[in-house]
Amino acid sequence: MRHLLSTLDLQRADLEGVLQLARGFAEVQTRDIPKVPALRGKTVVMAFFEDSTRTRVSFDLAARRLSADVVNFAASASSVKKGESIRDTIETLDAMGLDAIVVRHRSSGVPQQITQWTDAAVVNAGDGWHAHPTQALLDSFTLTERFGSLDGKHIAICGDINHSRVARSNVDAFTKLGASVTLVAPNTLLPRSLEGWPVRVESNLDRVIADIDVAYMLRIQQERIADSPFPTLREYRSRYGLTVERAANMAPDAVVMHPGPMNRGVEIDPEVANSDRSLVLQQVANGIPVRMAVLYSVLGPGRFDPTTAELIEGAAQ
Amino acid sequence: MTTIVIKGGTIVDHAGERRGDVLVDSATGVIREVGLSLTGDEVLDATGCFVVPGLVDLHTHLRDPGHEAAETIETGTRAAALGGFTAVMAMPNTDPCTDSGPLVTAMLHRSADALCEVLVSATISLGRQGESLSPMAEMADLGVRLFCDAARGVQDAGFMRRALEYAGSVGAATGLPIVLGQHCEMASLAAGSAMNEGAVATRLGLAGQPAEAEELMIVRDIALARLTGVRVHFQQVSTAGSVAMIRAAKAGGVPVTAEVAPHHFSLTDEACESYDANFKVVPPLRTASDVAAIKEGLADGTIDAIVSGHAPHTPDAKEQAFDEALPGVLGLETALAVSLTELDLPWPTWWRCCPGGLRPSPA
């Protein structure tokens, strides 16, 4: 894998390859010294042009646990604020010599654009509404861990689909791995065109709540008041929130997921977020081995290389 | 009197495409003769080139004054000459915008020595704000024939009606062919958009604008042209629905005309998949069925002219995230070639619409 820009570039076998590699790295997390020398001597730049806490920390830890050198680049403290073009910024970083750039940007397509201006591997850590491939991988990893496989599972993704890179990447990854996906949202939160999307659309959450294996809740932006896609947060919660009452109608082994940060009491009740159904903290924990697998896939000798297993096993010594 | 002979080229004009030489008077630039095996004092070898009557472009952004880093009158008219144009209509969305007599005079003065003729257009509204009328009569006296707010549609229907009524009076009082041009885009439906709305925009995670953002303004202005009897010229039409409505309006005798730019009959929104901001234009690249409808509109005369839509920006303004880059693409140097390549029309039809923008100029 040269870059990781979108799950759309990956086939089912590629996704499964990364997940399998991630299982190896998950074992590393349990060791006294959770670190392997796999990327020793490699330099990874965290180029976060948009604020992020969990994704940034997760990538940072993943790179360090692979023994890579990590450089943090915060847009707020950089030349970007002075009006420098993205091309200039990237070429400047590139001139310092680096092996991978992990990019988060508020605009769709920036990671893809960056590949023209650097020889480094580019890993998309979330771009605009477009894609968040490592989130999709860690969510798939978490569900595989829970259910063994996604084949035949029914997943409802509920909330602001239109503005969500997580929804776009997860629909693609979940369906490629054999799950069926239903989008649950009012029309004002759905993309205007869903042509070609392998999904069903449901406007009534109660109609599917008992049939699903996974309720994947998306964050509702409380900040936006103008052009609001729904009348009030209260009305949204009453129709689309995963309330305690609604969660009670879920199948006994059905689970709840959320990419964070959560608006407790809006899209998900705090009791549900903290319940046994909730995989939210597993999602966060799994982010590290999955991102180790991704960094290793773009910088290491290749995920199907026989040395892979040795590197992981040998690292404990 | 010395002469220049343009030898060995392929002549393209209303009569079709043929081999031939052109003899030009070097002092006046007047064509003396078109024929075979002509001789002159000076020979220009045009082997492998098209030789065309001077083309006129109805839609050029020269960016001067105000944005000289992107283009100047000098560089823009050089590009025009290279593309076969002997006259370009300069759009008024400069900084300051062309919305007064002195600014028109300044533009005419500054472009007097340009490499091709610069026709000056001016705004409909002061400051392109869509609120107060520009002094159209004063600017018409100085030579302005096309008024448009350029890259910004007149949003308010009441204001557009008044502008048409007043422009009608200016035309009647002076006997001049005054035309209002419209950038067809309802801001409330297009706000924040980076491309066409549809499956590609969803996949790319970019905000789109629907065809209806353009079509609502076209249906409105057809109604206002009918109401006032004053002609509206639709600039850079891009959708199948627009073509159909303009066709019907013309059949009903409503005074409307329309232009298209080459990128709207040669590219679709799938070009945006590269996130290369050169494909970010306004109106946005649409779909294959829109491209087909535009070609039909050119063939049957619904669309009157092809224009370059030349809209240059600095590399810095383009090497940005797609949603933050400025919209617009170059066109003067490629309009004729793209039109010749993409349009498979009978010669008289091709010539009628191609040089309308690309129309042989008496100039």
Q: What pLDDT is attached to residue B30?
A: 86
Residues 6+ apart with CB under 8 A from A203: A184, A185, A186, A187
Q: What pLDDT is attached to residue B95?
A: 97
> Nearest CA to CA, how far is B310 from chain A (Å)?
23
The DSSP symbol for A179 reads -
Q: Quick check: is A82 catalytic?
A: yes
Which of A149-153, B77-81, B82-86 is the least confident region? B82-86
Q: Quick check: is A54 catalytic?
A: yes
Average pLDDT over residues A5-22: 96
Mutate to test the interface with B, among A86, A103, A113 (most CBs of B within 10 A): A113
Cα A227 to Cα A186, A223, B32, B43: the distances in Å are 14, 11, 64, 65
Q: What pLDDT is attached to residue A302?
A: 56
Say how far apart CA B125 and CA A13 lie, in whole Å.
60
Name which of A130, A193, A194 is nearest B205 (Cβ-Cβ).
Answer: A130
Chain B residues close to A131, C-beta within 8 Å: 205
* A108:B320 CB<8 A: no
* B320:A85 CB<8 A: yes
Average pLDDT over residues B52-58: 87
Q: What pLDDT is attached to residue A316?
A: 39
* B205:A108 CB<8 A: yes
Say how far apart CA B353 and CA B300 lie, in whole Å.
10
Q: What pLDDT is attached to residue B362?
A: 31
Q: DSSP 3-state assignment of B2?
A: coil
Task: Kindly tell me if the per-residue pLDDT of B341 is higher than 90.
Answer: no
> Nearest CA to CA, how far is B318 from chain A (Å)?
9
Q: Which residue type, as a one-letter code, is found at position A246?
A: R
* A197:B202 CB<8 A: yes
- Quick: pLDDT tens for B154-212: 999 999 999 999 999 999 999 999 999 999 999 999 999 999 999 999 999 999 999 99
Q: Quick check: is A3 catalytic?
A: no
- Quick: pLDDT tens for A148-182: 999 999 999 999 999 999 999 999 999 999 999 99
* A113:B275 CB<8 A: yes
> What predicted TM-score, i.e. pTM, was given to this entire model?
0.91
Task: Kindly tell me if the per-residue pLDDT of B357 is higher than 50.
Answer: no
Q: What pLDDT is attached to residue A224?
A: 56
Q: Quick check: is A104 catalytic?
A: yes
Say how far apart CA B190 and CA B213 lie, in whole Å.
6
Interface of A with B in 153-172 (CB under 8 A): 165, 168
Is the CB of residue B95 less than 8 Å from the CB of residue B70? no
- Quick: pLDDT tens for B267-319: 999 999 999 999 999 999 999 999 999 999 998 989 999 999 999 999 988 98
ipTM score assigned to the predicted complex: 0.90
Confirm or reject contact between A186 and chain B (CB < 8 A): no
Average pLDDT over residues B55-72: 96
DSSP H helices, B112-156, are 136-141
Task: Kindly tell me if the per-residue pLDDT of B356 is higher than 60.
Answer: no
Q: What pLDDT is attached to residue B363?
A: 29
